Amino acid sequence: MHLLGHVHATRGGEPLSLPGKAAALLTYLTLEECPHHREHLAGLLWDTPDALRNLRVELSRLRGRGLAPFPARQPMLALRCETDLDRWLRGPEPLNERDLAAWLSPLRGPALSGLEDLGSAAFRDWVDRRRSLIHDRIEERLGSVCARFEGRGQPQAGGQVRACAERLGLHLPARSLPPAAPDDLTFEWPEQVRALRGVFERAARAPQLVLLRGHVGTRRTLLEDAVQGTPWRAVQVRFSSQRLLLQAALAGHLRRALPPERRPPGGPPGGTTDPDADLIDLAGRMTEAGVPLLVALHDVNEVPAWLAALLRFMLDLPLPLVVVLSASPTPGSDHLRLALGPLGGRRLHHVTMPPLSVAGVMRALAREGPDHGGAGRARAARLVQRSEGCPLYVQALVRSGGDLAAHDGRLPPDVRDRALADLAHLPGPAREGLARLAQLHDRFDRVMAGELLGEAAPGVLNAACRSGLLVPAGREEALTLPGLEYRSDDAETGLAFASEVTRAALAGTLPAAERHALRRTLARLLLPTQPALSLLYATRANLPELAAEARAALPAPPPAGFRGGCAEPAPEPSPHPHPRRGVLTPNGYRVALDGGFLEVLRRGRLGPPPLLTLLLPDVPAGTWALTARLDVTGSAAPPGLLPPPFALGLRVGTGPRVVYAPAPLPDHHAGGAGHTFGAVLPLNCWFRLNVTTRGGPLELSVREVNVALTVGDLTPVGRGASPRAVWPPGRCLPPEDAFEPPLPLTPF
């Protein structure tokens, strides 16, 4: 039965031709949800002496149309029937503006239209009362969605909801929330919400287990968005290694999360010294509540035996239940995947919240106001580059209103505190050792770690590698496009911090006296192999004699040989509807394909930046135009670093690498290849470079401390060129599975 708008019926998706009285009868029985005597129904629909005979005639007509919902000669009539109102109220609310039109489409007009002039006065009164009740429920839901959109600074979406309410004669509350302020940036995770709601559907048959990985400050919001507009209730607590405390917190939050009429009688369970008895009591209350539950344990770093037993018990409960374990997205969180695999089996799902993308931050900034002068992408790229895509960091940068073009390595206090809180599970000696290693502005090996940590080095390194804080890293890294496959070397002995934000937070925990002493040590240790870094440490440690010695040991720079002009400006390429996919390399390059654009971002240390190469195989012969833009480049690195950093390099086959930067670079050799300067690149705008090839592989490369580079497309030039573009490559990618993200390195 279709009750929203003009009343009608369908069967198997096909409309049924029903007389008005038949539609009124079926609507009444559908909404009443209980049996009624034939005489009562006849009196409602026909205010005449022969009403009962008219009812029998109407039922006969229904049977003649192939509809026989009522047994013959049965005095009481009842009907159980799905309605469009049920589906609309049961369905999830829209998460973003593009889903809003489909969500509003069933609301075609006032409910129960067409029944106003049918039947007796009593039936018409019933229609008015029922319509009022239906409209109250619709109004409540429209008001909730409108307030959410307007609270996020999306007045246009809120206006669509208000316009729909006006067409139905409904009145939504006036806006009580101001537009989202710059320090209240909100971000959307529609793919992850859809993935979780898919888990909800499975949980209706049996409890499910989810491993959720994402930055702190976003995971709770994601779960709240997932249950919004659904029958599910979310119970979220921070994980505790003390089982009794965890179960007591779960019990208290469960009682508060349930509506008053569903709360179990009595006080919260717990308070005994028997954790198993408390768990059984808690499970009984969850079952008695009679509502689907999402139970989330946040910041889980390990799965002790008692937690594994608790999860097994919860996954056997006879109720709709989703248990979520959340953790930070470090490479070392794979041990959680391995630990949970035997517990959940096919009921274990993996949902990853990627770091913020440039496009995602652009959408959040657009809700602040219009993008004057097209500066939105440049600002978003700088925010994502500086923050490593951490939402908490982006919000702090926007609140501060500082100069994003400055390469400031200082962390906002709340970001530093949160980064250190994520390391609370590490033993104290391991954190202290990592704080000493964090003074290094370059990758290091175990020999260097031994010089700084002594006998404690093996234990500190093993703990850091197990947790994913340190990862193997080489001087060069390579990815193959479009699949973003990484070429790793199992013999690599170098190590690097997986996150520059984490390294900076750890470095600040060391007392000033120890930092000063370490700089003196590092200045001497690095003098033979890294004189540029030795000069940096000697200057900061106020060692003028050692600084002079390091300056004298700097290699002679290559002779200047400036050739070429400036890259020509180009229009912005059109994005393509391809899913986002990306990897984080051990040296901190974040490479992503998003909407057909290739993005390379890095927040690096002050040491010599590693070379990143991106290989595009089988480019046809001819001249090709590469459209790109550069929004962040350069660093506060010490002088004398060789080979010189560059923002973009192009190499055809085994020929020389042509490099581009915002300022001229000297020609030089590095890594067995010649490097020739090509042109000066402008900042914060799209530009175009021409590449001529005889056919074969084309290599893009980056060697920079801080960088935000976007490649838009690679298209043929000239009449005789191949008619097809080789870029964007996103069309070659398979759709990303929200439950099982690819893990070539660290996915995002």
Which H or E run includes 37?
A: strand 36-37
- Chain-centroid distance of CA 588 in Å reads 19
Cβ–Cβ under 8 Å, residues 185 and 300: no
Give the pLDDT of residue 91: 83
Provide the token pair at 320: 């709709």
Closest CA to 604 of 631, 561, 635, 565: 635
- What DSSP designation does 49 have? T
How many Å apart are CA 375 and CA 684, to the nearest integer?
A: 8
Contacts of 428 (CB under 8 A, 6+ apart): none
How many Å apart are CA 9 and CA 439, to the nearest integer?
A: 72
Contacts of 148 (CB under 8 A, 6+ apart): 93, 228
How many Å apart are CA 246 and CA 250, to the nearest integer?
A: 6
569 preceded by a cis bond (ω within 30 of 0): no
Give the pLDDT of residue 561: 59
The CA angle 585-591-596, to the nearest 5 degrees, is 160
How many Å apart are CA 257 and CA 376, to the nearest integer?
A: 40
What is the full DSSP assignment across 54-94?
A: HHHHHHHHHHHTT---S-TT-SEE------HHHHHHHSPPP
Contacts of 87 (CB under 8 A, 6+ apart): 106
Give the pLDDT of residue 261: 60
Type of residue found at 574: S
Provide the token pair at 464: 């850091």
| Secondary structure, 3-state, 708-736 | EEEEEEEEEECCCCCCCCCCCHHHHCCCC
30, burial (CB in 10 Å: exposed 0-12, middle 13-18, buried 19+): buried
Q: Report, as ranges of residue numbers, the positions in the chain whose pLDDT lies below 70.
A: 174-184, 259-273, 330-334, 368-374, 402-403, 405-408, 488, 490, 560-564, 635-638, 718-748
How many Å apart are CA 542 and CA 222, to the nearest integer?
A: 49
How many Å apart are CA 91 and CA 81, to the nearest integer?
A: 17
What is the full DSSP assignment across 284-346?
A: HHHHHH-S-EEEEEES-----HHHHHHHHHHHTSSS-EEEEEEE---GGGHHHHHHHHHHHGG
747 preceded by a cis bond (ω within 30 of 0): no
Cβ–Cβ under 8 Å, residues 36 and 87: no
> Exposure pattern of 145-170 as b/e (b: 16+ CB <10 Å)?
bbbbbbbbbbeebbebbbebbeebeb
- Chain-centroid distance of CA 641 in Å reads 37
- Chain-centroid distance of CA 196 in Å reads 12
Closest CA to 71 of 61, 88, 59: 59
Cβ–Cβ under 8 Å, residues 624 and 718: no
Strand residue runs (E) in 369-517: 470-472, 476-480, 485-486, 495-497
Cβ–Cβ under 8 Å, residues 373 and 383: no
